[in-house]
Amino acid sequence: MWQLLLIACSAPPPAAPPSLEIPLDPMLDRDAVTRVQTSRAWQASSTDPRAQDPASPDWFANDDRGHVLRTEGDRFVLVDREGPGVLLRLWSANPERGGDLVIAIDGQPVLTGPMKGLLGGTAGVPEPFAVVAAGGHTLRLPLAYRERLTVSMSENRGKGVYWIAQGLDWTGPVPPVHEGTLQSLMPEIERVGRGLETDASMAPTDVVEAELAPGGSESLALEGPGAVRQLTVSLQSPEAAMDVWLRASFDGVPSVEVPLGGLMGIGRGTQPYRDHWREATIEPAGTGVAGSPRVWTGTTRFVMPFGAEAALSVENRSASPQAVRLGVVVAPFEIGADTLRFRATHLDARFGTRPYRDLTLATWTGPGVLLADTLTVHNPVEDWWGGGDEKIWADGTLLRGTGTEDYYGFAWCSNEVWHGPFGGQARNDRSAFTTEMCDHSGGVVTASRARVLDVVPFERELRFDLGVRHRKDVEVRYEATVMGYTR
């Protein structure tokens, strides 16, 4: 009898940790984006629900907090999607107002805890997959689901939570995944995290070096088949980075015409910058181009395939001579029916901020993939400029967020200069201010986004619009470089 009583009173065994499916290795596969994609991007956010009709003044409504998909008992549901697919990004400016977060996959909670900690890297998920950057908290650990994904929070305090969730619907083959508990997968997670943050430079296979007069150019011809796997350019000063341009054609198709600063993610920044795809460094005299007071070196690791030939040229569009060194690493590449060409376009626009407007940064014909972008804003006043939402149309499906800085991963008009594998803010002329930052937002700002798994595939057409919702009626200048792949 005592034995039966002890059995009846003993505590139940602890529940086994939930098992996860995480597509880790695809994050390091740079070739994957060069192929036609069989997935579709999705995005959900707390954007103002009045903003439904582009023809309505409410299209620029800006009460972008506290809105959720639905309430269910005492839970606030942010996402409910059928699989298969993968959750790739969950961002918030104020996750402390969300209480406890529950990410459930196929009906089982797999990631639970304080929303602030899970997104901010203090609740079990390491950097760079959970990080706080300039006020923005972002979880980027890719979580695959076969049948259903739900994301919910226990609270929605105050005026509500700002949030954005993004992922992919897998409409074709499911990519390879690592299976296991979060703890058992931690060595692999950390390995891939290091791979996203570091990349050894390779010695160039082809080099051209020249002193370019204003309006002058220098070209490099390549024979295929192959792919440019690394492209490095050195200039005599950081200030020339937006005045020296790269042009490229692959198999006779013009595909690239952009300033080097935009391509490298640094824009008009004068501090070092690095993300997963791009890097820019600034070194003292004597380390690069001969005789220069400072040396700016930009490197990209975008894979640029070509079949028969490729032609690259650097052009000096500044008013003074520029010493330039261009080096590329070309390696074998198997061209297939689904191979896409690297694409980079640039917009330089000056305009008034009233009425509110959407500025189209790029319009591309598919099939293709949106991969990265760099935005430089010239703001003539101290008032905040970034209240406009990104509006990315992929084959007619709208992906809309909650503000320009939110799209780039930070928050609250932050002036902090920062960078990481997924982007950053390479320049902010008001970076000395740490309070009342929305009232100290003048000068030049450069922000970049670098996508890894969170690409935007499209079959027919991509249109990348950025809402311009400045607090004042002024004239501004936007310089935007957009990178990806198309036919």
- Rounded to whole angstroms, the Cα distance separating 447 from 377 reads 9
Range among 8-22, 36-50, 421-435 rated most confident: 36-50
The mean pLDDT value of the chain amounts to 94
Is the same domain home to 269 and 317?
Answer: yes
Is 484 among the domain residues? no
pLDDT at 4: 42
Is 262 among the domain residues? yes
**Cβ neighbourhood burial of 19 (10 Å; 0-12, 13-18, 19+):** middle
The arithmetic mean of pLDDT across residues 252-279, rounded, is 95
Between 289 and 68, the more confident residue is 68
pLDDT at 2: 45
pLDDT single digits (tens) 157-213: 999 999 999 999 999 888 999 999 999 999 999 999 999 998 878 999 999 999 999
Question: Domains in the chain: how many in total?
Answer: 2
Q: Residue 455 pLDDT > 60, yes or no?
A: yes
Domain boundary among 172, 197, 222: 197
Q: Residue 153 pLDDT > 60, yes or no?
A: yes
Tally of CB atoms within 10 A around 238 = 22
The arithmetic mean of pLDDT across residues 330-354, rounded, is 98
Is the same domain home to 85 and 110?
Answer: yes
pLDDT at 288: 47
Is the same domain home to 165 and 230?
Answer: no
User: In 3-state terms, what secondary structure has residue 95?
Assistant: helix
From 128-137, 363-372, 429-438, the region with the lowest mean pLDDT: 429-438
Domain boundary among 152, 177, 197: 197
User: In 3-state terms, what secondary structure has residue 191?
Assistant: helix
The arithmetic mean of pLDDT across residues 342-366, rounded, is 98
Domain residues for the domain of 255 are: 199-339
Is the same domain home to 36 and 168?
Answer: yes
User: Residues 357, 373, 53, 69: is their CA dihedral positive or negative?
Assistant: negative
Measured between alpha carbons, how far is residue 146 from residues 139, 141, 177, 421 in Å?
20, 16, 12, 27
Neighbouring residues of 219: CB distance < 8 A, sequence distance ≥ 6: 208, 311, 312, 313
Question: Among candidates 253, 277, 231, which has minimal Cα distance to 374?
Answer: 277
The arithmetic mean of pLDDT across residues 151-161, rounded, is 97
DSSP3 helix / strand / coil % (the chain, rounded to 5): 15, 45, 40
The arithmetic mean of pLDDT across residues 311-324, rounded, is 96
pLDDT single digits (tens) 84-118: 999 999 999 999 999 999 999 999 999 999 999 99
The arithmetic mean of pLDDT across residues 72-79, rounded, is 98
Which CATH number characterizes residue 70's domain? 2.60.120.1390
pLDDT at 286: 54
